[in-house]
Structure formats: structure tokens, C-alpha cells
Amino acid sequence: MDEGEENLLATHKSAEKRDRQAKARRARNIAAKSAIKTKVKAVIAAVEGKNKENSEKALKEAVPAVAKAASKGLIHKKNASRKISRLTKKVNALQS
């Protein structure tokens, strides 16, 4: 057994499989959320650096990633919409 792993309460094969699946999904979700946060931070950093070109480039990478996360159910649809809207607003503010 790995460190930090607890004994399973259920000993049925199906319960053990569900536990393995849940751990795999949890790891995948954590990685995907982390990737989204990194892309969002890249946009914010570019905006704070007043770099119009880099902020637009970072936004073009962040928007599809956030939208995809929403379509997969990783984040709520309205949460994704709000993130995209706010990031776009910050990037557009640089241009004017």
C-alpha cells in the first residue's frame, strides 16, 4: 500500500474498482484545474505587464481551455463564462 492510503472499508471487487476510478478521476481533475489556473494567471500577468501582444496570445490559449473544462463538467458553465468575460475585458482595456 502507498503512504497516506487508507484501508478500504468495502472489500467487494466493484467497490475497489470504484475507488480506483475515483482516484484516477480526482487526479485528472486536479491536473486539469491546475492547467486552467496557470493559463488564466498567464493572461493576468501579461495584462499587468501592459503587454498587448502577449496578453492577446495568452487569452487565445486560455479561452478554449476554460470552455473545454466547462463542457467536460470540470467547472460550471456560468463560472467559465464569467472567467472568459473578465479576462477578455481586461485584455480589451489595454487596447483602448
- Predicted confidence at residue 4, as pLDDT, reads 57
- Predicted confidence at residue 17, as pLDDT, reads 92
**Three-class secondary structure of residue 74 per DSSP:** coil
Using CA atoms, how far apart are residues 75 and 71, in angstroms rounded to an integer?
8
pLDDT, tens digit (0-9, with 9 covering 90-100), for 52-80: 999 999 999 999 999 999 999 999 999 99
Angle at 35 between CA 32 and CA 40, to 5 degrees: 130
- Predicted confidence at residue 9, as pLDDT, reads 67
- Predicted confidence at residue 11, as pLDDT, reads 82
Using CA atoms, how far apart are residues 58 and 36, in angstroms rounded to an integer?
12
Q: Specify whether the CB–CB gap between 14 and 60 falls below 8 A.
A: no
pLDDT, tens digit (0-9, with 9 covering 90-100), for 2-44: 555 566 566 899 999 999 999 999 999 999 999 999 999 999 9
Which one-letter amino acid corresponds to residue 91? Answer: V
84 pLDDT more than 80: yes
Using CA atoms, how far apart are residues 15 and 17, in angstroms rounded to an integer?
5
